[in-house]
Structure 1
Amino acid sequence: MKYHNFRQSSKLFGALCGGLLISLPAIPQALAQESTVKVNPSPSIFSEPPYNRSQAPGSPESGVTPPRPVPPAEGQSSPVPPRPVPGDRTQQPSSPAVSNDQQPLVEPRQTPSATIALTNGMVNIRLVNNTAAKITFQVIGDTAPRSLEGKSDVTLQALKAPVTVTFERQDSGQLIVTPQASSEPGSLEVTFKEATNAAQGRSAMRIERNGSVFLN
């Protein structure tokens, strides 16, 4: 009787152990499926809008590492920035140098032949012809050409400075012109003599506002 009960107990224990062995392989599969569902319940979450931008690939929250730059293939050199062209610099344009022969010539200031004190900017001129030839004279802008006989004189009154007087011998000879301040205020006396060479000849006289008298 005892032996019969022991056999039945052994069969029952064997049946229980066999059932456990059959169900054990299914437990890890069920656990794996459950963990997969919890990790990524929606595999297309990044391809179908809307989705959370904070979990986009490459963001710090998503945990996805952005792709690294691809190095150039063997035999290909990496791009090199262009070198600056020599002399290609931005600078202010400089003015061209002026050579000595291009500089304007400054004429030395002529020394006045005489100086008089003007009266209210006016001057009286006495022309004295000490030659035997007739002289033609003109006050530029004031009078027409006039004649002065040899061994004679004429006075031009109240000429406003600056004033220019021209003169010429009718026989085409040269004249030596000598201006000199008169004893009368605001008066100038001009004497004409015959010149022996052309270098001594003068043909014009100018009186400036300051009373300076120049011959040409």
Structure 2
Amino acid sequence: MNYPKFRKSAELFGVICGGLLISMPAIPQAVAQESTPKINPCPRIFYEEPHNNQVVVPQGCPPNALTQRLAAQGLLPVPATPSQEQTNLGVGGETPQPSVKLPRPASGDQTQQPSPGAVSSDQPPLLQPRQTPSATIALANGTVNIKLVNDTATNVTFQVIGDTAPRSLAGKSDVTLQGLKAPVTVTFEREDGGQLIVTPQASSEPGNLNVTFNEATNAAQGRSAMRVEPNGSVFLN
């Protein structure tokens, strides 16, 4: 009889069966671990009435109405930001729904595009070029003395805005306004309704400005106001 061969076959069969018996308990355990669902610590019921205003959510969950109200009153710590795992689960364990894309409007519903020559109301207005100063003077401690010289044959009414009442300057005369703090605006007009040519000129002495009035031949030459800026720039209008 062939006993050695039979003995070797029996030993091999025993080894195979033993290995199967050892590995079998591990298979159900692995399956059980994989099939165990993740428990969401922030179920949807926390955010539904009446729990939304009666139950405080656990630390780390998105705050519901009651949790927010008590935290605002200082009765609870500020709710922590939910973990990434909780965010992926979503409130109640549901996977966040993907955003829904709205259908594109039909050709007849498309927003009308402005014509190439149209100006959009959203565009800022164009900036006007800055006016060139008519004169520039050196102020004395932020103040200026203005000498008005009326070379016309008629009276000129002038006023320092916010400083003096309207005053009259007779023809062929002058007056000096002292210690005006810049910025300062002076208005003037002829009492006969005519136009004035206004010529400002810096004096040789710092802080002094000479302004001469002459009769204008047309309205385009006329000026009715003068402003001295804190940097010494003099503008006419």
Q: Identify the residue that residue 115 of structure 1 maps to in structure 2.
A: 136
- Residue by residue over 1:70-96, the C-alpha shift from the partner in whole angstroms, topping out at 9 and shown as x without a partner, is xxxxxxxxxxxxx965249xxxxxxxx
Task: Give the 4+ runs in structure 1 shifted more than 2 A.
Answer: 83-88, 99-103
Q: Distance in 1 between matches of 2:208 and 2:131?
A: 22
State the Cα RMSD in Å.
2.3
- Residue by residue over 1:182-201, the C-alpha shift from the partner in whole angstroms, topping out at 9 and shown as x without a partner, is 01110000000000000000
Highest RCO, 1 vs 2 (Cα 8 Å, sep ≥ 6)? 1
Correspondence 1:3-152 to 2 at 5 A = 85-87=102-104, 100=119, 102=121, 103-152=124-173
Which among 167, 182, 190 is matched to residue 169 of structure 1? 190
Which among 211, 220, 229 is matched to residue 190 of structure 1? 211
Letter in 2 for 1:86: P
Q: TM-score, normalised by structure 2?
A: 0.50
Q: Distance in 2 between matches of 1:200 and 1:210?
A: 26
Q: Does the residue aligned with 1:100 lie in a helix, a strand or coil?
A: coil
Q: Does the residue aligned with 2:220 lie in a helix, a strand or coil?
A: helix
Q: Identify the residue that residue 225 of structure 2 maps to in structure 1.
A: 204
1:108 deviates by 1.0
Rate the CA distance shift 1:171–1:84 in 2: closer, same or farther, 3 A: closer
Q: TM-score, normalised by structure 1?
A: 0.55
Rate the CA distance shift 1:186–1:105 in 2: closer, same or farther, 3 A: same
Rate the CA distance shift 1:110–1:85 in 2: closer, same or farther, 3 A: closer
Unaligned runs of 5+ residues in structure 2 are 1-30, 32-99, 106-113
Identity between Structure 1 and Structure 2 (%): 76
Q: Distance in 2 between matches of 1:124 and 1:85?
A: 70
Rate the CA distance shift 1:166–1:85 in 2: closer, same or farther, 3 A: closer
